[in-house]
Structure 1
Amino acid sequence: MSVWALGLNHTTAPLDLRGRFAFALDQIAPTLQSLRSSFPSSRHPQVEAAIISTCNRTEIYCASEHIALDHTFGWLAESGGVAPTLLRSHAYTLHDDEAARHVFRVASGLDSMVLGEAQILGQMKDAVRAAENVGALGTTLNQLFQRSFAVAKEVRTATEIGAHSISMAAAAVRLAGQLFEDLRKTRVLFVGAGEMIDLAVTHFAAKEPKSIAIANRTLERGEKLATRFGGEAMRLADLPARLAEFDIVVSCTASTLPIIGLGAVERALKARKHRPIFMVDLAVPRDIEPEVKALEDVYLYTVDDLAHVVQQGQANRQAAVAQAEVIIDAGVQSFMHWLGQRSTVPLIQQLNAQADEWRSAEMTRARKLLAKGESVDAVLEAMSRGLTQKMMHGAMAELHSGDAASREQTAQTISRLFLRKER
């Protein structure tokens, strides 16, 4: 069994290209079905697959008897509507121990834009659950991901990799504080109600802004989040008309198209008499049209723009990284040992089936002898002799066949298997 992975992330691909390959959680199931059905059934009858898609990465993990990286690449390029050559120039491919090491590092927060961040682990668990629900996760990938979660837990327990970590949400608050002298005088609008927005609201609420509003497609979900922080909820459809009310806008939805356009921001600026607006677009694909960044009095930051802020203080965690890599190395070795053992499973199954067949035949013969009135001792003697002969027949036949060199090799193997001394 082989494992392979391919993907693109914040270090290899620009934001807009990553956006073409972003899959919302509810898209994972049909996307996995499309991927698995694309493999030729003759050579890849049961390909295991999982997709991890976040604002910083999209990665595909597969397992099968034969590696099919080129096919997976072609499928991903087609799904994103880009040329395979363009995708290859921004993507990475990994297999077996390299793939295991990578997924362990991702789970542990070592491959994130925010070194040591813990959010990726929850996102990975969601992706694994989605793959399980659609029946795309077999024994091999299940082992790979469960081991990655165990390694991540050990890394966080045994090292300080998460210490002093600056999240995207915290970075946004820090930048907003540089633009506005007192965040307590600002009105903040959050667009979306997912995990990232929840985190962002938590950080901004700690600064006690003048007001907080949540705009979401589903009003009920927005109200639930707004209630926790004493804010108001509004419908997404009302956003353009009310945009001028807010000094800070933080957006992160699963929309495939921008939901805050250039025209809406221009009208908001006019109504605000060009008082500045601080905007953070944490979505991939973008929620805010990129042309907005060119407007005066708008300070727009994307996930990539926040990279410099979140990288600050990384030197303080480099010692923890070295410790984490040691834990990951051990995890990779353990997984590869398990994967190697999996190749002998069919042989073990065949041996067990053959032994059970011999046992069944001797039991049938023994019952017949007992029915004829043979003594129990004689029947047991005959049954044990019959089993022994069946078990030794193949080895004896091999010892008497072949040339001298092959017989010598066979003799050593048989000696090792059958003549081991108990220690």
Structure 2
Amino acid sequence: MTVLTLGLNHTTAAVDLRGRFAFAVDQLAPTLKTLHQRLTGSTHPEVALLSTCNRTELYCAAGGLGGPVHTLRHAAVDWLSGIGGVSSEELMRHTYVLEGGQAARHAFRVASGLDSMVLGEPQILGQMKQAVREADTAGTLGTTLHQLFQRSFAVAKEVRTSTEIGAHSISMAAAAVRLAGQLFEDLGRTKVLFVGAGEMIELTATHFAARNPRTMAVANRTLERGEKLATHLGAQAMRLADLPQRLHEFDIVVSCTASTLPIIGLGAVERALKARKRRPIFMVDLAVPRDIEPEVARLDDVYLYTVDDLSTMVQTAGEKRQAAVAQAEAIIETGVQGFVHWLDQRTTVPLIQALHSQADAWRAAEMARARKLLAKGEDIEAVLEAMSRGLTQKMLHGAMAELHSADTSQRPQVAAALSRLFLRGELVPGRNTTASSPPDKAEPGQANRHDPQGDKA
């Protein structure tokens, strides 16, 4: 098995392009089922999909290297390009494709917050866990991806507990509050509207609430959920449908919903500005795809920021924690080596299964033969002797055939391999014992023990 990661993030694609490939949480499981059906063939791939405001990443695992994985990679690219309505060539200019250890390293860095716009931010870990749950629900997770993600979570936990990577972090929410504070001298006199009721809005609202604004309101498509958050914040709840008529009431608007289309249009903002007599509005669009039409940014009295606009401020704060990055990378590298070793071991699973199957078939055949002899009244000792001899002959037949058919140049290597497999030791040059002859008779208590002194005899 090998793992494959195909993705685009805030470093490779702008917010508008990322928006074409964004998936809401409730879209993940059905999307994965459709994708799995499309990709399933001789490779029987495992798939998981991670989609946040900063990234969309497809994780796959498939049997074998070369052909099957190569085919899987092209199929995944074609599928994702179709989702976003762009050509495969255009998509590949903004994506990264990683395999094996590189894919594992990337997953571990993402889980640990090292690949985030906000260095060390904790939200991504919860988003990855949600992605795993959705893949499990869709039935597309599989043993290899399960192992990859569980190791990612373990590495992320060690990074957070052993390093200062998350200390003094400035999140998107904190950055939004700082920018608002630069526009409005006293945030305690502002009215703030939060559009949406998800985790990001709750986090941002908590940061703004700490500055004690005059009024806060929550507008959400589902009023019940909006009311729950509003009650928690001590804010008002309003219907999303009422937003255009009430937009002018608010000095600050922060939006982050799962809508696939903008919900705050240019016309609504223009009318709000007119009603406010050109008093400025500070707007933050944390959604991907956008909640606020990009044309709004052209209005003179609107200060509109997207997740990409906040990146410079966030990354500057991240420089203070660069000293912890090296330590975190060392922890991640250890985790990668462990996963790659586990993955390498997985390649022998089919062989192990085949060996067990063959051994069971031999055992069943000899047992059936022994039962027939016993039914005929044969002596039990003679039957046991015949059964053990039959098993021994079956087990050694292939090895003896390989040894006898090997040419002169190959025979030493074959003999050494058979010695390691059956004698648990190595043939010694110059010694008369061969793989086809029985091992020296051991003294009592010395069976299966390697005697270095005996090698010198």
Partners of 2:403 and 2:415 within 8 A in 1:
yes
Q: Deviations over 1:104-137 (max 9, x none)?
A: 1001100000000010011111111111111111
Offset of 1:63 from its aligned partner? Answer: 1.4
1:218 is aligned to 222
**One of 157, 167, 181 as aligned partner of 1:163:** 167
1:60 is aligned to 58
**One of 223, 245, 248 as aligned partner of 1:244:** 248
Give the SS at the match of 1:12. Answer: coil
Which stretch has the larger CA shift, 363-372 or 96-105?
363-372
Which stretch has the larger CA shift, 185-194 or 22-31?
22-31
CA distance in 2, matches of 1:422, 1:61: 47
Matched, 1:20 2:20: yes
CA distance in 2, matches of 1:40, 1:210: 56
Offset of 1:347 from its aligned partner? Answer: 1.0
**One of 341, 348, 354 as aligned partner of 2:352:** 348
**One of 275, 278, 285 as aligned partner of 1:281:** 285
Which stretch has the larger CA shift, 1-10 or 244-253?
1-10
CA distance in 1, matches of 2:49, 2:94: 18
Report matched runs for 1:81-100 at 5 Å: 81-100=85-104
Offset of 1:363 from its aligned partner? Answer: 2.4
Say what the alpha-carbon RMSD is for the aligned residues: 1.5
Which stretch has the larger CA shift, 240-249 or 397-406?
397-406
2:124 is aligned to 120
CA distance in 2, matches of 1:222, 1:101: 39
| Largest Rg, 1 or 2 | 2
Structure 2 residue ranges without an equivalent (≥5): 425-447, 451-457
CA distance in 2, matches of 1:64, 1:20: 27
Give the SS at the match of 2:93. Answer: helix
2:33 is aligned to 33
Offset of 1:422 from its aligned partner? Answer: 3.9
TM-score, normalising length from structure 1?
0.96
**One of 411, 415, 420 as aligned partner of 1:411:** 415
Offset of 1:365 from its aligned partner? Answer: 3.0
CA distance in 2, matches of 1:396, 1:194: 68
CA distance in 1, matches of 2:276, 2:176: 22
Change in CA separation of 1:365 and 1:15 when aligned onto 2, cut-off 3 Å: same
CA distance in 1, matches of 2:288, 2:317: 25
Offset of 1:102 from its aligned partner? Answer: 0.6
Give the SS at the match of 1:394. Answer: helix
Q: Deviations over 1:233-270 (max 9, x none)?
A: 10000000001111110000011111011111111111
Which stretch has the larger CA shift, 245-254 or 388-397?
388-397
CA distance in 2, matches of 1:102, 1:343: 22
2:45 is aligned to 47
CA distance in 2, matches of 1:85, 1:365: 64
Partners of 2:406 and 2:414 within 8 A in 1:
no
Offset of 1:214 from its aligned partner? Answer: 0.4
1:152 is aligned to 156
Partners of 2:265 and 2:292 within 8 A in 1:
yes
Offset of 1:315 from its aligned partner? Answer: 2.5
CA distance in 2, matches of 1:422, 1:69: 50
Partners of 2:10 and 2:308 within 8 A in 1:
yes
1:4 is aligned to 4
Structure 1 residue ranges without an equivalent (≥5): none
1:329 is aligned to 333
Which stretch has the larger CA shift, 106-115 or 292-301?
292-301
Change in CA separation of 1:413 and 1:22 when aligned onto 2, cut-off 3 Å: same
Q: Deviations over 1:353-400 (max 9, x none)?
A: 111122222223333444444444433333322222221111112221
1:131 is aligned to 135
Which one-letter code corresponds to 2:54 in the other structure? N
TM-score, normalising length from structure 2?
0.89
Matched, 1:197 2:201: yes
Pairs aligned (count) = 421
Q: Deviations over 1:159-185 (max 9, x none)?
A: 111111111011111111111111111
Offset of 1:313 from its aligned partner? Answer: 2.6
Change in CA separation of 1:301 and 1:422 when aligned onto 2, cut-off 3 Å: farther
Offset of 1:155 from its aligned partner? Answer: 1.0
Which one-letter code corresponds to 1:361 in the other structure? A
Which stretch has the larger CA shift, 309-318 or 10-19?
309-318
CA distance in 2, matches of 1:314, 1:386: 70
Offset of 1:328 from its aligned partner? Answer: 1.0
1:269 is aligned to 273
CA distance in 2, matches of 1:202, 1:250: 12
2:79 is aligned to 75
CA distance in 1, matches of 2:410, 2:210: 77
1:381 is aligned to 385
Offset of 1:322 from its aligned partner? Answer: 0.5
CA distance in 2, matches of 1:186, 1:200: 15
Offset of 1:419 from its aligned partner? Answer: 1.2
Which one-letter code corresponds to 2:3 in the other structure? V
Which stretch has the larger CA shift, 307-316 or 46-55?
307-316
